[in-house]
Amino acid sequence: MAGSSSGPSLMDSLFQRTLDDLIKSLRSATAISGADSPSLVLSRAVDDIRREIRASDQTTKAIALQKLTYICALHGVDISWAAFHPLELLPSPIFLHKKLGYLAASLSFSPSTSVLPLATHQLRKDLSSPCDPAAALALEFLSSPAASADLARDLCVELSSLLSSTRPRIRVKSTAASLRFFTLYPDSVRVAFKRLVENLECADQRVVSAAVGVFCELSAVDPKSYLPLAPEFYRILVDCRNNWILIKVLKIFSRLAPLEPRLAKRIVDPVCDHLRQSSAKSLVFECIRTVFTSLDGFDDAVKLGVEKLGEFLASEDDPNLRYLGLKGLSMLQPIHLWAVEESREIVVKSLGDPDSNIQREALHLIVRMVSDANLIEISTILLNYALKSDPEFANEILGEILSACCRNFYELVVDFDWYVSLLGDMSRHPHCTKGEDIEHHLVDIGLRVKDARPELVRVARDLLIDPALLGNPFICRILSAAAWVSGEYVELSRNPVELVEALLQPRVSLLPVSARAVYIQSVFKVLIFCLHSYLEQDGAGPLVTRDPVGGSQMSESSDAVMFEISSNCSFDSRIGLEGKDNASNVQRAHTSNDSAETKGFLTYDSLKHILDLIEMSLNPLVECSEVELQERARNILGFISALQKVQGSDFDEEGFRRDPRNCKLITVMADAFLEDLGPVSANAQGRVLVPDGVSLRDDLSDLDGILEGERLEEPSSAPVFFKRSDQLSEAQEEDLPSLTESKSLLAEHRRQHEVYYLPKESSEAEKEGYPRANEAPSSVGHGHIAEGSIQDLIKLTKESLGPRRTKPRPVVVKLDEGESVPTASSLKSVEPRDDPLSGVVREVLLQDGDEPTTSRRISSGNPSRRRSKGTMIPRSTGESAPHSDENLGDLQKGGRHHRSHSHRRQGRDGAQSRPETEDRGEEGKVSHKGSHRSNHPRRHRRKEEAEGPLNVIQQAPPGQDLLL
C-alpha cells in the first residue's frame, strides 16, 4: 500500500471505509485504552482521511470529506487543515458531492477562514442556478455562521433578486438568509429591504413566515425603526391563522407597542381574540406575554391574561405549564401585583415542587410579594425553609431575602433590630455563603441607622464570642464586620471585658489576615474605651476640668452622639440639646443608662486583666510576618508600654487614676477614635473643587526624568525585614513553649465559655472539639418543605396588603439622590445588551455608524422618529394627550425589571430634547428634507436611502390609517 506521503492508491478508493463503517468502529471502540480506544480509532481514521481526501476520484474525496465532517462536528477534531477540500467539491456536477461540500464548509468554516473568498464565484453561480437545490444550498451556506461580510457584500445583489423569485422554496430561503446579509453587511439593506418588506404580503405563508422571522430578530435590536411597518404586521396579526407566524408577530408588537400608545390600543383587541380562541398553548402564552409586558395599561386584557395563566398554573400533571405559569406571573408589572397575590397559594405551594427551576421561580415571586408589613414573617419562614433545602437553593433563598431587605436603602425594613438579628441568624446558617453581602449590610446599617446600633452590637457580640464560627471560611467576613461594629460602637457594649476576650480568643488565628487585622484594631478601640470610661467613672470631675480641649472636641462633632452618651457627665445636657425626637431620645437614654451601668463594673482589676490579656495575646504577633497584624499589634503594645512608662514600676490603682499624664494620653487616644464614621456619597470626590494651580490633566511624562537620579535607591525603600529572618530559627525553637501556652489559653477560654464547647466526652476524642460550623443540623431533610411552613406562608402573604406598623421606622441616613450603592438588585437590573447583531443592525437602520456606541445609545433613547411621526399625524400629544401620556408614564414608572433603566433614560432624554424635536417635526411636515437639519444629518439621509422603498409608506403617513 502506498505510503502516506504519496497520493492515494486505487486500493484506497476500492476499500475506502464509508461513514457508516467509521461510526460503527467508533461506537464499538469502548475500551478506554489499548488498540481499540476511541482516540486511537479516531486518529487512525483521520490518517486515512488525509490520504483519501487527496484522491482525484471525486467519490473517494466526497466520502472522505463526509467522514471528516462527522469527526469535526461530533468529536471536536480540528479540521482547519482540510479547509480547501470542501471548496473542491462545491462545483461538482453530482449534487450529493456538492451538498457534502457545502455541509462541510458550513460546519467547519468561520468568517476568518482564509480560503472563504475562493467560494464567492461558485456561490454566485449556484445562487443564479435555475436548479432549486443548488441555489438553496448556497443560501443555506450564506446564512450559516461561516458566512463573512465580504461574501455578503459581493452577493447581496444576487440575494435581492432571489427575494422576489417565483420559486417558493428559493424565496423562503433567500428571505431567511437576508437577516444574515443585513447583519454582516449593513449596506445590503439598501438593495434588499424593499423586497423583504414585500414578502410580508406574499401569498405563500412560508415566505411570510420567513419574513416575519427576520423582522422579529431585527426588531429585537432596534424596534423603533420598524414602527412604519406596523400596518403590515397588523394585517398578519388579524388575518393569519398560522401559530408560528402569529407568535413572531406578537413578539414584534410587544416591542413596538411600548413606543406608540395608539398602536397598543389598536392591537389589544386582536391579541385578546387570539388569547380567547386559540387552543395552542404556545400561542396563548405568547399572547399573555405580550399583554403583560406591553399592554399592561389595559386592565381587561390583563385580567383575561391572568385568567388564562391560571390554567397553566393549575395543570398538575405538566411541569412545563406550571413553570410557564410562574414565569408569566413574574412578567406582570408592579401595578398588577394583585394577580400574583391572587395566585399566592399555588405560588407558595410551588416552593416545594420537585423541580428546582419551579422552586426558583416561586421564590422570586414570593419575594416580590413581600411588603413592609409581612417582611419579618416571610423572611423568618423562608429562612427556616432554607435550613431544610439543599445548599444551593438555600443560598438562593438567603440571597433573595438579603436583596429584598436592602432594596432602596432598606425601605421595607421597619424594625432594624429584627433585621440585624436576622443577619446574625443567617450567618449561623450551616450553608451560608453570603458572607460578603451580610458583611456589607452589617457595616452599612451601622453607618446609616443609628437606632439599630445597640442591637447591632449585641448581635456582633454573639457572633464574636462563639468559637465554633471561627473555623468557617464562609463567614470570616461577617466576623470581620462584627469585630468592626464592636470596636466602633463599643460604648453600646454591655461588657467590654468580655468583648476583648472574644476578640483575642485563641481560635482567632484561624481567620484570614484581613479579618484578624480588624480584630486587633477593634481590641485597640475597646481598650481605649475601657481606660477612658474607667478614668471618667469616678474621676469624672478632674478629667473634664483637666482636659477642656477634649471636651470641646466632643461637642463639636455633632454626629458622635453615641460617643457622647458614653461620657456620663455630658450625657444629660446632650439629650437636652438634641431633644427633637422624643421617642428616639427615650431609647437613647435607655441604652446609655445601660452602658453606664456596665461601666460601673469596670474595676481596676478588670482593666489590669484586659491589659494582661492583650499583652499575652499580641506579643507573639510582634514577630508576625504579616505586616498588617504586626503593625497593629505593635500599635497597641506601644500604647500600653507608654502607659507603663509614665507609671513607672508602681503600677497601682491610685497612681494610675491620679496621674495627669496618663489621663492626657488616654484622652488623646479616645479623641482619636471619637470621630464618627459616616457614609460617604459615591460622588463625594467629584464635588471637591480642584484648588487653583493644581493641574490634574497634565501627564506625568517628565516624572521619569525627575526620578532618574533616585531610581538606584529604589530597592532600599521596599520593606525588608532582616530582623525577622534572623530570628526565624529562634522563633521555631520557641515553638514548643508557645504551643503549650496556646493550649493553656484554650483551656482557660473553655473554662469561661463552657456553653460554646462540646461536652467533655466528645472533646476528648477530638482535640479541638468544636462542632463544625458548616455541619448541617441533624434535622435537615432534603427537598420538601414541611406542609406547616407552606401553610404559614400562604397565610402570611394573604396579610401582605394590610398596613401594620408597631413601631416607628428609624431614620436611615441617605446621601444625595445620586448615591448609588451597588446593591444586589441594582446590579441585577443593569443588564447590558450584548447582542452581537445589535451594533451592526443599528448602523443599518438608524444610520449613524460613525458615532461611538455610547452616543448611539443615547440617541436611540431619543424618540425623535416617533415624535416627527406624531406631528405628521395631527399631534399625538394634543389630541389623545391624557391617554398616551398616562400610558407612557405607567411604563416609565413600572418598567420591567431589566428595562427600567432604558425607559427612564428615554423619558429624561425625551423631555430634554422636546422643543428641538418639535421644531424638526414641523419642518418635516413641509418637506422631508427638513430633517437634514437634525442632530444627525447623516443618519437621516442614510435612512432615506436605505428605506427609500418605504417612502411610499412614509409619505402616506405610516400607520395613520391603522392608528386613527
Partner 1 sequence: MGIRFVLLVNKQGQTRLAQYYEYLTLEERRALEGEIVRKCLTRTEQQCSFVEHRNYKVVYRRYASLFFLVGVDNEENELAVLEFIHLFVETMDRHFGNVAHFMLEEMVMNGCVVETSKSNILAPIQLMDKAA
Rounded to the nearest whole angstrom, what is the least distance from the CB of residue 218 to partner 1 in the complex?
11
557-573 as b/e, with b when 16 or more CB fall inside 10 Å? Answer: eeebbbbbbbbbebbee
Residues within window 917-936 making contact with partner 1, judged by CB under 8 A = none
CA distance 782 to 765: 30
Site for partner 1 in 823-882 (CB under 8 A): 836-837
Here the cell at position 749 is 477560654
Q: Given candidates 85, 180, 453, 632, which one binds partner 1 under the rule CB under 8 A? A: 180
Query: Measured from the CB of residue 60, what is the shortest distance to partner 1 in angstroms?
Result: 15
**Is position 396 an interface residue for partner 1 (rule: CB under 8 A)?**
no
Residues with Cβ within 8 Å of residue 308, at least 6 apart in sequence: 275, 284, 287, 288
**Judged by CB under 8 A, which of 88, 140, 341, 390 binds partner 1?**
140
Placement of cell 461536652 in the chain: 759
Exactly one of 324, 464, 565, 669 binds partner 1 (CB under 8 A); which one? 324
Residue 864 contacts residue 209 (beta carbons within 8 Å): no
Q: Which is nearer to partner 1, 120 or 356 (CB)?
A: 356
CB of residue 79 vs partner 1: minimum separation in angstroms? 9
Is residue 68 a contact point for partner 1 (CB under 8 A)?
no
Q: Which stretch binds partner 1 (CB under 8 A): 155-163, 174-182, 223-231, 267-275?
A: 174-182
Cβ distance to partner 1 smaller for residue 219 or 871:
219
Residue 479 contacts partner 1 per CB under 8 A: no
Q: Shortest approach of partner 1 to residue 832 CB, angstroms? A: 11
Binding segment (CB under 8 A) for partner 1, from list 43-51, 170-178, 620-628, 859-867: 170-178
> If binding means CB under 8 A, how many residues of this protein chain bind partner 1?
62
Q: Establish if 399 lies at the interface with partner 1 (CB under 8 A).
A: no
Examine residue 391 and tell whether it contacts partner 1 (CB under 8 A): no
Task: Give Cα separations from 745 to 140, 463, 496, 556, 935 (angstroms).
Answer: 77, 20, 19, 43, 76
CB of 24 to partner 1, least distance (A): 12
Pick the closer one to partner 1 by CB: 364 or 883.
364
Stretch near partner 1 under the rule CB under 8 A, chosen from 322-330, 645-653, 748-756, 944-952: 322-330
> In this complex, which beta carbon is closest to partner 1, that of residue 209 or of residue 887?
209
- Residues numbered 17 to 46 that lie near partner 1 (CB under 8 A) are 19-20
Q: Can you tell me the distance from the alpha carbon of 596 to that of 533, in angstroms, rounded to the nearest whole number?
A: 9
Give me the least distance between CB of 214 and partner 1, in Å please.
7
Q: Could you tell me the smallest distance in angstroms from the CB atom of residue 224 to partner 1?
A: 18
For position 179 contacting partner 1 by CB under 8 A, the verdict is: yes
How many C-alpha atoms does 557 have within 13 Å on its Cβ side?
A: 20
Residue 308 burial (C-beta neighbours within 10 Å; 0-12, 13-18, 19+)? buried
Q: Is 74 in the site for partner 1 (CB under 8 A)?
A: yes
Of 165 and 864, nearer to partner 1 (C-beta) is 165
Answer yes or no whether residue 176 interacts with partner 1 by CB under 8 A.
Answer: yes
In DSSP notation, 199-263 reads HTT-SSHHHHHHHHHHHHHHHHH-GGGGGGGHHHHHHHHHH---HHHHHHHHHHHHHHGGG-HHH
In DSSP notation, 23-83 reads: HHHHHH---SSSTT-HHHHHHHHHHHHHHHTT-SSHHHHHHHHHHHHHHHHHH----GGGT
Residues 341-360, one symbol each (x = binds partner 1 by CB under 8 A, - = not), give: -------------xxxxx--
> Considering only residues 273-302, where is the footprint of partner 1 by CB under 8 A?
280-282, 285-286, 289
Which of 17, 120, 150, 319 is the binder for partner 1 (CB under 8 A)?
A: 319
Phi-psi region of 874 (alpha: psi -120 to 50; beta: other; left: phi over 0): beta
Q: End-to-end CA distance of the chain, in Å? A: 81
Between 92 and 568, whose beta carbon lies closer to partner 1? 92
Cell of 595: 452602658
Question: Would you say 66 or 371 has its CB closer to partner 1?
Answer: 66
Residues 291 and 300 sit within 8 Å (Cβ to Cβ): no
Contacting residue, 39, 114, 320, 762, with partner 1 by CB under 8 A: 320
**Residue 119 · residue 90 · CB < 8 Å:** yes
According to CB under 8 A, which residues from 196 to 215 bind partner 1?
A: 206, 209-210, 213-214
Q: Which span sits near partner 1 by CB under 8 A: 173-181, 270-278, 403-411, 436-444?
A: 173-181
Q: Which amino acid is at 830?
A: V
Please name the residues in contact with 910: beta carbons below 8 A apart, sequence gap of 6 or more.
861, 862, 863, 867
Tell me if 653 contacts partner 1 by CB under 8 A. no
What the block records as the C-alpha cell of 643 is: 502607659
Contact 462, 424 (CB under 8 A): yes
Instruction: Work out how close the CB of 322 gets to partner 1 at its nearest, in angstroms, rounded to a whole number.
Output: 7
- Binding segment (CB under 8 A) for partner 1, from list 314-322, 511-519, 629-637, 797-805: 314-322
Question: Does position 945 bind partner 1 by CB under 8 A?
Answer: no
Identify the CA nearest to 718 among candidates 818, 655, 627: 627
Q: Candidates 137-145, 615-623, 737-745, 882-890: pick the segment binding partner 1 (CB under 8 A).
A: 137-145
Under the criterion CB under 8 A, does residue 11 sit at the interface with partner 1?
Answer: no
- The contacts of residue 481 (CB under 8 Å, 6+ apart) are 438, 439, 440, 442, 443, 460
Task: State whether the Cα torsion 730-733-739-740 is positive or negative.
Answer: negative
Write out the binding residues for partner 1, residues 117-136 only, by CB under 8 A. Answer: 132-133, 136
- Compute φ and ψ for 961, nearest 5 degrees: -60, -40
Neighbour-count burial for 718-727, b at 16+ CB within 10 Å, e otherwise: eeeeeeeeee
Which residue's C-alpha cell is 481596676?
604
Contacts of 552 (CB under 8 A, 6+ apart): none
Q: Cell for 513?
A: 489576615
Q: How many angstroms separate the CA atoms of 929 and 885, rounded?
A: 29
Cell numbers describing residue 424: 446574625
Binding mask 225-264 for partner 1 (x = CB under 8 A): -----------------xxx--x---x-------------
Which residue, 51 or 173, is less far from partner 1 as judged by CB?
173
217 binds partner 1 (CB under 8 A): yes
Nearer to partner 1, 842 or 943 (CB): 842
Smallest distance, partner 1 to C-beta of residue 207, A = 9
DSSP assignment letter at 713: G
Binding track, positions 89-108, relative to partner 1; x by CB under 8 A: -----xxx--x---x---x-
User: Helix, strand, coil proportions of the chain in percent (round to 5)?
Assistant: 75, 0, 25
Provide the minimum distance between the beta carbon of 476 and partner 1 in the complex, in angstroms, as a whole number. 30
- The reply on whether position 60 binds partner 1 by CB under 8 A is no
Write the interaction track for partner 1 spanning residues 412-451; mark x where CB under 8 A is met and - where it is not. ----------------------------------------
DSSP state of 505: -
Diameter of the chain measured on Cα atoms:
113
CB of 286 to partner 1, least distance (A): 5
- State the Rg of the chain over Cα: 37
461 touches partner 1 by CB under 8 A = no
Helices (H), 894-959: 900-926, 937-946, 951-955
Shortest Cβ 362–partner 1 spacing (Å): 12
State the residues that interact with partner 1 by CB under 8 A: 19-20, 72-74, 76, 78, 94-96, 99, 103, 107, 110-111, 132-133, 136, 139-140, 143-146, 169, 172-173, 176-177, 179-180, 206, 209-210, 213-214, 216-217, 220, 242-244, 247, 251, 280-282, 285-286, 289, 319-320, 322-324, 354-358, 836-837
